[in-house]
Amino acid sequence: MSLLWLFPAGLAALAALLLPLLIHLARRDQQQLIDFAALRWLSAKPRPRRRIRFDEWPLLLVRLLLLAALALLLARPALDGLRDTEPRIAVLPGVTPAQARAVAGTPPSQWLWLAPGFPRIGQDAPMPDARQPVASLLRELDASLPPDVPLTVIVPSVSQGWDAQRPRLSRTVRWLQVNVPPAGTASATHKPPRLQVRHDADGALQLRYLRAVNQAWHAEAVLDSAGDDQAFTEGDAVRVWLSSKPVPAGLLAWAGNGGTLLVDARTPVPPQAQRSPLWHDDAGNLLLEQVNQPPRWLRWNANLAAASMPALLDARFPSQLQARLQPPPAPGRADATSLRPDSGAPAYPQPARELAPWLVLTVALLFLLERWLASARRRRGQA
């Protein structure tokens, strides 16, 4: 364990220690000489040389300590190399504390929820939400612990919140499982989106293909289409801009708030925008690209016509378009046995522990003591 200074230049504030010394020298008690008649004829003797004398030593000492503590607070002292070997037991929400203790026992450890902030498990503390990004939280917890701290993780046998990669940590984890029946979840099916189309004269010639797509998604729905001089209505439908005019600013703002925008191949793209291919047909022809202006929007690569886009005649076109407009979420449920974390990742350097909270408390106490001594001095002066 060693002491280090995160901002050594703050020690220059120690020069302020001269201020209380000068104040006490300037405000020390003055002695006034009074001539007595019986002594007025005596020959004057040379005065002895006066020495520097400080009054109110306790008050002066407290003021010096207060300024020194403020200077140390500015320099941000910290302790490096503190050893923390207390074991941690992290419990994934979904497993109750009673179930976790039945599996792990009651060793002297620090019990935490595997949730953002890693709250302590207490008797009255509520259980966090069971839907947690487990893999990310494991990596974060591993990075925040010293390398020598043993870690035990208790998870349900089947849980959600995993990504596509087995976690790799810097330590060997004691991996315990609890047989908890998985909560039933609805199937992750998406209803087909609805389309709102605004077009110009040339864009009206492409409407028949979008009507066919809309009828494949919603058998009895009528395609919502109008000229490009008409505003879009409110709702979460996919907005389609089939016009050679630039995308209106209001439409871009709507897309920036999470809306899905699909524009014509004739719609101009800003030169600074980034473009990336999103959908190719079986022959390798680009059908749809993604434009990051920002915001993110989609753009046809060709006019919606059978001659320029033969994929429009494919029976799979509506379902393939829906998959691009509504990407399915990545699966997150997995068996905990297959996702036991691996070890061998490099250990993360641990930050030094700053002493600022203790210094702030010291400054507050010294300030209160200084005020009490100063007020006591004034009371004595008034008496």
Tens-place pLDDT, residues 278-337: 999 999 999 999 998 788 899 999 999 999 999 999 999 999 999 999 876 655 667 778
Per-chain mean pLDDT for the chain: 84
The reported pLDDT for the residue numbered 112 is 93
The pLDDT value given to residue 380: 60
pLDDT of residue 383 exceeding 60, the answer is: no
Cα–Cα distance, 53 to 174 (Å, whole number): 68
**Predicted confidence band of residue 20 (pLDDT cuts 50, 70, 90):** confident
Q: What is the dihedral of CA 19, 20, 25, 31, to 10 degrees?
A: 140
Check whether the bond before 108 is cis (ω within 30° of 0): no
Q: At residue 169, does pLDDT exceed 60?
A: yes
Percentage of the chain with pLDDT > 90?
42
Sheet holding 353-354, edge to edge: 2-5, 77-80, 353-354
Residue with tokens 């293909």: 209
**pLDDT over 80 (residue 158):** yes
Q: What pLDDT, on a 0 to 100 scale, did the predictor assign at position 187? A: 46
- Min mean pLDDT across 3-7, 43-47, 147-151, 357-361 is at 43-47
CA 263-269-275 angle, to 5 degrees, is 90
- pLDDT (0 to 100) of residue 227: 95
pLDDT for the residue numbered 312: 93
| The model's pTM | 0.47
Q: Is the pLDDT of residue 186 over 50?
A: no
Neighbours of 238 (CB within 10 A): 20
| 345 — pLDDT class (breaks 50, 70, 90) | confident
What does the DSSP 8-state code read for residue 349? P
Q: Write phi, then psi, for 250 (nearest 5 degrees).
A: -65, -35
Q: What is the pLDDT of residues 252-290, one digit of tens each?
A: 999 988 899 999 999 999 888 899 999 999 999 999 999
- Can you tell me the distance from the alpha carbon of 288 to that of 279, in angstroms, rounded to the nearest whole number? 5
- State pLDDT tens for residues 109-146: 899 999 998 999 976 667 888 778 888 899 999 998 88
What band does 45 get if pLDDT is binned at 50, 70 and 90? Answer: low
User: What contacts 93, CB < 8 A, 6 or more positions away?
Assistant: 113, 114, 115, 127, 128, 129, 130, 132
With CA atoms as reference, report the closest residue to 256 among 291, 288, 294, 289: 294
Predicted local confidence at residue 125, as pLDDT? 67
pLDDT at 10 over 80: yes
Q: What whole-number percentage of the chain has pLDDT above 70?
A: 84
